[in-house]
Structure 1
Amino acid sequence: MAFIALSDLVYLVCLISLQFTAAKPDGCGIRANTQTRIVGGEISYPGKWPWMAAFYRSNSNQYCAGALISDRHVLTAAHCVAAIQPSKLQIRLGEFDLSGRLPVPLPENNNNSARALLEENSAFQNNIYNVEKITVHQQYEPRSHLHDIAIVRLNRPVEFSTVIQRICLPPPSLPSLEDRTAFVAGWGTTAFLGSTSSSLREVEVPIWNNQACLEAIGKNVFDTTLCAGGRIKSADACQGDSGGPLMMPMVDDRWAAIGVVSWGIRCGEPTKPGLYTRTSHYTDWILSTVQQRT
């Protein structure tokens, strides 16, 4: 069985800081499609977020998301997988539009590359993975959403391509991210109790101070929580986006998963940010879980 080299992952974790250190020419956090422009968001483009994972239960539509962090592991929210047997779960990687369509219209300067990436993934029929093991954080509390984080181990190694890559992890300690912006992407509903999106959507959201977040939400905001969302326009994750990554470019424009979509009050409320599990608090736990071979 193939496993990610822990030494390689540790090196990349240490590398991803807000101090601009030289990066390796290969590895995590690199996108094939860098064109940048969910609730208040826009349709994305093939290859732009190549670590996105779509979660499916047996005989159901896509219901949660995650982020590929190694050739065998997907990071997600505990509430997405805590009550599911591994045999009842499938993961699809390299997806853009779950119905196989391209967004219309495509930007003129991106039309050919986007189509090429979709065609590449359509020809690659090996992007559906069964699940071998689910590891939910041992202190996960469903009622308060505390420690809402989990790792799914795939049944076989991933074949990396232009549309399937892994995202970086942040170091265990990060400086304040308040007032910076990050991206969240997903196939979830485009409004509270609304319809889902077959195409991957993305939105840029500002990160809140935790005290302001607590005042806005009223409870269940911890030091392991990261809050982000539109203060003026409605920009947020919503139902079906749970488990997906909150993403920020760091060293050499490498992208890291600084948060995991956890919960919120409705969706896209300007005065109510979305709540994310703060990934940097769990970096050591993630590394320890990834290196377990059973």
Structure 2
Amino acid sequence: MKILQRTSCALAFSTVAACSPGGPLGDEEVAAVAESKIVGGADTTIEAYPWQVSLRTTSSSHFCGGSIIAPDWVLTAAHCMQGETASSLRVVAGVTRRSSTASGQTRQVSEIVIYPGFVTPTSGHDAALLHLSQPFDLSSPAVSTIPIATPADAAAGLIDAGVNAIVTGWGTLRSSDFSLPDVLQAVTVPIVSNAAAAQAYGSGQVTSDQLAAGVLGTGGKDSCQGDSGGPLTVPASGGGRILAGIVSWGNGCGQASYPGMYGRVSSFSTWIQGYVTSNQAPTVAFSTPAEGAVVSGRATFSARAGDTDGSVASVRFTFPDGTIVNDSNAPFSAAWDTTKVADGQVVVRAQAFDDLGAASLVAERTVTISNGIQVCGFGPFESSDTPLRIPDYQQGAPISSSINVQDGGAVAGVHLSLSITHTYIGDLHVTLYSPRGTAFSVWDGDGGSADDLDLTDVAISAFNGEAARGAWTLKVEDLASQDIGSLVSWSMSIDSGCDDGGSGGEDGAWRTSSHPNLPTRDNGTVCDSLTVSGSGRASDVRLDLSGTHDWRSILRGTLAHNGIVVEAFPLLTFSRGAGAFGFADRAISGFSGAAAGVWTLCIVDTDAYSDTGVLNAWAVHN
């Protein structure tokens, strides 16, 4: 049974029975599994599931999961709290890697509230509330609340049998394994009716306040020990996700005949709402510029925000080029450099956060950029050689589909759409190649056990400055066994400079490089600069870099020209695990103007796991 949140006892199942808890799993007993998967799942990031938390002992050992349902409240399983006191607990939020507590938010617990009537998980009532001594800071994209499912949501069919749910956590990979993965895991499991669950477990074993999920008859996808108390979420009617279940118990993990069992959150909603303080969210609205205004150069956006039962802590402004500005002082405002943005209408967004972390609805302001930077487009172009069957487990032998573009012009952006049917999209690697041969990874083993991959209008800047004319090729590779599918179709459209063709031109070949052999800084930033004395057109500027690191996927970076960031590459740009990282010929789509000046490259190590690495060399060139 997966009710075991501790790891000091063995499990032998002939009937459904609990194992008595022992001491916590110490960090020295935990193997950090680099490429591991929760039962049938895959690595994910905390930004995808920012409500997930890790419950720790005072020695920082993970033993259960939980969900942030208010800035100062966490919902978990009652069985996780057996033998615990508030003073013995710590709650860690905002971390993808369980070991990276320094990069997250850690809170103490002031109160534990157990759902009335709880005895054992199999008898139901398996829910508990943790009141935090200090609210979480919800301004981080890695920490957020999740709405709880209500009886109205249940009546609307959001938790019906057959609905695909997602469960997340740092639990073990199978019943007999007590090592925990370091990276947060996620797996998709369909909801199973209580009637079907009762047939599996026997009469009287499934109560009305329990929820079942799993792949009956097949198995292989489930939560497991260490996931207890964590979230099972389903799609909400208006978008986003709601918390439907609390990981509770089950017969083994991923068994074909036994679904996983969860506390049914909608059954606990009235009890939860009786404890969780109703904090009114703040409001925000744009003041300037006016709706539809024409802006150019460096434009200032201002917003007014208020909170009826507290104070506004900050307003976050999000701009369409990825710039984010947080202002914590009223009147709230942010300046945005539009000089590198193509002419046309754009939408700027603002969101307010109060002193308890509650977030407002997002306000939007549409303005027109006018800097004389024109972008024209053509397409869409659609594949004519699809559908194509994707062979199972053909590593090194991808299928290929091509679109031949006859129009000229330099690429200023590519927009890709595709449809793939497949029974496990976490097996897939999808790459788009330009006529020049530049490769862009569209999909790289993401999505875990989910079925089918449909992408719409994915914006790609990696080909900027190249000639649009020629054969564009999409390659799809299946990197694991036992799943099948097809590339049904794909299409692309191209943004281009408004000229009569060509490859973007050159002002003479130039290249400036640096070989700093600069050690990276654990949970910190290192930067290196070089000076370009020549000049090149914006469409010509490209970046090369190379280095090595113990855990490449936690790196991110920025490239600045004369102090202004013109390119950023996020987490997971590089592959997981240890080895070489880098890229060649990366187009710098955020830059406009002469290349002469000081270029600065910064590499950021985003956790405190004592990783080491070196930035060996980098260059900018046309």
TM-score range, shorter chain: 0.7 to 0.9
Structure 2 distance, partners of 1:242, 1:145, is: 16
Residue 29 of structure 1 is matched in structure 2 by none
* 1:217 Cα offset (Å): 1.2
Residue 42 of structure 1 is matched in structure 2 by 42
Change (3 A) 1:141 1:164: same
Q: How does 1:71-220 map to 2 (within 5 A)?
A: 71-100=71-100, 127-142=105-120, 144-160=122-138, 161-173=140-152, 174-175=154-155, 176=157, 177-194=160-177, 195-218=179-202, 219-220=204-205
Q: Does residue 1:274 correspond to 2:253, yes or no?
A: no
Q: Secondary structure at the residue paired with 1:144?
A: helix
- Residue number among 241, 244, 251 corresponding to 1:265 in the alignment: 251
Partner amino acid, structure 2, of 1:254: G
Change (3 A) 1:56 1:73: same
Is contact 2:78-2:126 (8 Å) kept?
Answer: yes
Structure 1: 4+ residue segments shifted above 4 A: none
Structure 2 distance, partners of 1:288, 1:204, is: 31
Structure 2 distance, partners of 1:147, 1:281, is: 9
Deviations 1:4-34 (A, max 9, x none): xxxxxxxxxxxxxxxxxxxxxxxxxxxxxxx
Q: Does residue 1:287 correspond to 2:273, yes or no?
A: yes
Unaligned segments of structure 1, at least 5 residues: 1-37, 101-120
- Residue number among 203, 207, 214 corresponding to 1:229 in the alignment: 214
Structure with the bigger RCO (C-alpha within 8 Å, sep 6+) is 1
Structure 1 distance, partners of 2:252, 2:67, is: 23
Is contact 1:172-1:284 (8 Å) kept?
Answer: no
Max Rg structure: 2
* 1:99 Cα offset (Å): 2.6
Q: Secondary structure at the residue paired with 1:69?
A: strand
Residue 12 of structure 1 is matched in structure 2 by none
Structure 1 distance, partners of 2:115, 2:47, is: 30
* 1:58 Cα offset (Å): 2.4
Structure 2 distance, partners of 1:71, 1:224, is: 25
Give aligned pairs, total: 235
Is contact 1:82-1:136 (8 Å) kept?
Answer: no
Structure 2 distance, partners of 1:44, 1:144, is: 30
Q: Secondary structure at the residue paired with 1:183?
A: strand
Structure 1 distance, partners of 2:68, 2:145, is: 5
* 1:60 Cα offset (Å): 5.1
Q: How does 1:22-41 map to 2 (within 5 A)?
A: 38-41=38-41
Partner amino acid, structure 2, of 1:135: V
* 1:83 Cα offset (Å): 2.2
* 1:222 Cα offset (Å): 0.8
Q: Secondary structure at the residue paired with 1:252?
A: coil
More deviation, 189-198/136-145: 136-145
Structure 2 distance, partners of 1:189, 1:89, is: 21
Residue 112 of structure 1 is matched in structure 2 by none
Q: Secondary structure at the residue paired with 1:79?
A: helix
Q: Secondary structure at the residue paired with 1:152?
A: strand
* 1:157 Cα offset (Å): 1.4
* 1:59 Cα offset (Å): 2.1
Cα root mean square deviation, aligned: 2.0
Partner amino acid, structure 1, of 2:50: P
Q: Secondary structure at the residue paired with 1:91?
A: strand
Residue 238 of structure 2 is matched in structure 1 by 252
Unaligned segments of structure 2, at least 5 residues: 1-37, 279-622
Residue 20 of structure 1 is matched in structure 2 by none
Structure 1 distance, partners of 2:122, 2:209, is: 12
Residue 5 of structure 1 is matched in structure 2 by none
Structure with higher helix content: 1
Q: Secondary structure at the residue paired with 2:167?
A: strand
Change (3 A) 1:290 1:139: same
Structure 2 distance, partners of 1:157, 1:84, is: 21
* 1:66 Cα offset (Å): 0.2
Is contact 2:245-2:264 (8 Å) kept?
Answer: yes
Structure 2 distance, partners of 1:230, 1:134, is: 34
Deviations 1:170-229 (A, max 9, x none): 122313411111000000001112121111000000111111100101242011110001
Is contact 1:172-1:282 (8 Å) kept?
Answer: no
Partner amino acid, structure 2, of 1:45: T
Structure 1 distance, partners of 2:82, 2:73, is: 16
* 1:95 Cα offset (Å): 1.3
Partner amino acid, structure 2, of 1:66: G
Q: Secondary structure at the residue paired with 2:151?
A: coil
Structure 2 distance, partners of 1:171, 1:209, is: 18
Change (3 A) 1:143 1:250: closer
Partner amino acid, structure 1, of 2:208: D
Q: Secondary structure at the residue paired with 2:87?
A: helix
Partner amino acid, structure 2, of 1:183: I
Percent identity of the aligned residues?
33
TM-score (normalizing by structure 1): 0.76
* 1:283 Cα offset (Å): 0.6
Is contact 2:123-2:206 (8 Å) kept?
Answer: no
Residue 65 of structure 1 is matched in structure 2 by 65
